[in-house]
Chain A
Amino acid sequence: MSDRLTTPAELDQPIAPAWSTRALLDRFGMLLILPLLLAAGGIVSPAFISADNLSNLLLQFAPLAIVAMGQALVMIVRGLDLSVASMMATAAVIATGFSGSDRDVATIFAVALAVAVMIGLLNGFLVTKRQVSPFLATLATMILLQGFRFAYTQGAPSGNVPPLLRVFGAGKFHGIPYNVLVLVALAIILAIVLHRSTFGRRIFIVGGNPVTGRLFGIQSDLIIIACYLISACLAAVGGLILSGYVGLVDNWVGQGYELDSIVACVVGQVSLQGGRGSILGALTGAAIIVIIANEVLLLGVPIQVQLIIKGAVIVIAAALYARKDN
């Protein structure tokens, strides 16, 4: 690879500007799949493209997308965060842990984020300072949270979600869900942080190669810990929003989101090997998953078949990207 000759012919090639068609296609090409999916959905079942359904789609999209963005950061630094779903459920349990009135919303956010910070730090600490594999470290914190949650709720959570949180989770403003507004704000901030800031550049350098990061004077450990921290916090926010959407709380709010968020990232071309990925990719991946699930539902296909389709989509999407990379 590195042995390839830089021939004079190669030098004569025009310098590709950042905005060339190919570069654009490389960066935004995967977005093209969304209108295709939407169109296909509309053809198969007209109800799909009704304004109502689309706005519901957005409602379901937001929590997964929020979690997937955090997952993307962790995956870029060669990690994996299996604790996100457990974190979401824990946040949801916290949401019902108070009086259920709007006065407590600020407290709920504060407590949930405080727990998320601890879990994120623990994940990051295990991965960096103790060199535990991310898979195991986050698996352990997942079980840890689960244990504490069960012990706290004695297996049967009760209590109500404050109305304000319900608005955030399920309410709409002229058809646009509030949770999407939250998502958009978070996405813009994260995209700037990841793709424009020095911190984001360091994430990519460390993710591509931690040794290089160290030689660049970057404190790789801090960068990695920060990514786990952000992921846990986003999971907490996602969990609160989801609890608002679901309305009632059990111990398993968010179940399956750990794998779904990883799948969303893989489908959105965030590399499992680290060093590659984007916020846009995570969002696209999450959108693809939600759209497919919704279309399948509308088709009246039994819920079982959804799983089969989801499984197939995961593998096929990953296979397509593998081909492209090679």
Chain B
Amino acid sequence: MTGAANLRIEMPWLLRNNAGLAGVLVLIALVCLVGAAASDRFLSFNNFLNVFEQTTDLALVSIGQTLTILAGGIDLSVGSLISLTSCLTSGLINNNPDRVVVVVIAVLVLGTAVGCVNASLVVALRVHPLIVTLGMGAVLQGVTLLYALGPVGRVPRGFNFLAYGRVYGLPLGATLAVLLCILIALLLRYLPLGRQVYALGDDANSARLVGLRRTRILMLVYGTSGFCCAATGLYLAARFGVGQPYTGVNYTLASITPVVLGGTLLSGGKGGVVGTLFGAFLIALLNNLLNFMDVSKHYQLVAQAVIIILAVSVYVERRRTM
């Protein structure tokens, strides 16, 4: 019996614990098929690099969001935090190359710290994360506007390498996002605390009875989410050359879509960041395809909504039959 269990052919762990990943890959394949039919340039390597590059910002935020959702929570402060960090980046650097390193580090630390404050508030006030992070989002937006009512500062010319640069032909920002994703996936799998993220999301009451340290777990997930927001803020500042106080506003809800497309349960406890990465890629790919097909920007939103509805409905079906 136990021998048989050990002899069982092990699927790669990325796939094994992630039934949703298969779903998102199928969807990507579908979009590719339609794309190939629509235009012969769609399936080109260059186009894929483009799409990959366009995935960066959404991928970065959603990776952090995945963690909070895995732990049974949610982070609705991401949009404001992205706005704040992008404003601070360009405002503080203010076209002075000497400040780049210090400011980048400071911004990443700040983002992480805001995430940790979110976690502490959730623990200390015993309030649902939805509400805490919603409140935090409003506060951060206010702070951002106090700092800048319009576009603020500038980043030095070299800084936009983060957004447009290519290393060995690969877009730098997107590659960093992938590396971050892999790192977090490994941490989730090989750190005890990472496993406990799943446990907490699976059953919070059991986690309490077993004596898991909820505060630590929440610090990890909200801290990471804050870090990811700061990274997104940096990236957007690099891309636009300037920080804008409303630049992150749409990411709050948009960051949830890739997570769900990637097969992470919104109720927590199941899923992973790799799926999210592909989820973000799927959305960029879809927008790209619709561009190829000359579909108006407005209908792209409709298409996205339909994809979400279809995807979540299909996942539900699978869960039921199991």
Contacts and interface: CB of A to CB of B under 8 A. Distances in A.
A136 B308 contact: yes
A37 interface: no
Contacts of A311: 134-140, 142
B130 interface: yes
Interface stretch (B3-11, B16-24, B119-127, B167-175): B119-127
Nearest to B260: A136
B134 A259 contact: yes
Contacts of A155: 297-298
B30 to A, nearest CB: 18
A133 B138 contact: no
B134 A314 contact: yes
A253 B303 CA distance: 23
B131 interface: yes
Contacts of B304: 143, 147
B146 A132 contact: no
Nearest to B148: A304
Report which residue of B131, B253, B260 has the largest number of chain A beta carbons within 10 angstroms of its beta carbon: B131
Report which residue of B138, B149, B302, B306 has the largest number of chain A beta carbons within 10 angstroms of its beta carbon: B138
A318 B139 CA distance: 15
A197 B134 CA distance: 34
B256 interface: yes
B204 interface: no
Contacts, number: 137
A155 B298 CA distance: 8
B298 A307 contact: no
Contact of A307 (B126, B131, B141, B305): B141
B128 interface: yes
Given A266-B131, A272-B131, A318-B125, A154 B298 contact: yes
B295 to A, nearest CB: 10
A13 interface: no
Report which residue of A133, A137, A147, A266 has the largest number of chain B beta carbons within 10 angstroms of its beta carbon: A147
A151 B298 contact: yes
Contact of A141 (B126, B260, B299, B305): B305
Contacts of B297: 150, 155
A302 B146 contact: yes
B7 to A, nearest CB: 37
A55 interface: no
Nearest to B137: A311
Contact of B142 (A148, A308, A326): A308
Chain B, interface SS category = helix
Nearest to B149: A304
B145 interface: yes
Contacts of A263: 131, 134
A43 interface: no
Contacts of A136: 256, 260, 266, 308, 312
Nearest to B295: A151
Interface in A140-190: 140-144, 146-148, 150-151, 154-155
Contact of A310 (B138, B146, B260): B138
Contacts of A306: 142
Chain A, interface SS category = helix
Nearest to B124: A319
B160 interface: no
Contacts of B320: 131
B296 interface: yes
Contacts of B137: 311
A130 B139 contact: no
Contacts of A312: 135, 139
A82 B253 CA distance: 10
B127 A318 contact: yes
A307 B309 contact: no
A38 interface: no
Contacts of A143: 301-302, 304-305, 308
A151 B296 contact: yes
Contacts of B302: 143-144, 147-148, 151
B94 interface: no
A11 interface: no
Nearest to B266: A133
B277 interface: no
Interface in A35-78: none
B121 to A, nearest CB: 7
A132 B265 CA distance: 10
Given A150-B301, A304-B145, A314 B308 contact: no
A58 B148 CA distance: 32
B126 A319 contact: yes
A218 interface: no
B184 to A, nearest CB: 23
Contact of A315 (B131, B140, B312): B131
A120 B149 CA distance: 37
Given A132-B316, A144-B302, A308-B138, A139 B296 contact: no
25 contacts: A130-B312, A131-B316, A131-B320, A133-B267, A136-B308, A139-B256, A140-B312, A147-B302, A147-B304, A154-B298, A266-B131, A272-B128, A272-B130, A304-B146, A306-B142, A307-B139, A310-B142, A311-B134, A311-B135, A311-B140, A315-B121, A315-B135, A318-B125, A319-B126, A319-B127
Given A130-B312, A150-B298, A308-B139, 20 more contacts: A126-B309, A133-B267, A142-B305, A147-B303, A148-B298, A151-B302, A263-B131, A266-B131, A272-B130, A304-B149, A305-B146, A307-B142, A307-B145, A312-B135, A313-B135, A314-B134, A314-B135, A315-B125, A319-B126, A323-B126
Question: Which 10 pairs show the lowest CB-CB distances between chains A and B?
Answer: A147-B301, A311-B138, A307-B142, A147-B302, A150-B298, A308-B142, A311-B139, A315-B135, A304-B145, A144-B305
Interface of A: 82, 126, 130-133, 135-137, 139-144, 146-148, 150-151, 154-155, 259, 262-263, 266, 272, 302-315, 318-319, 322-323, 326
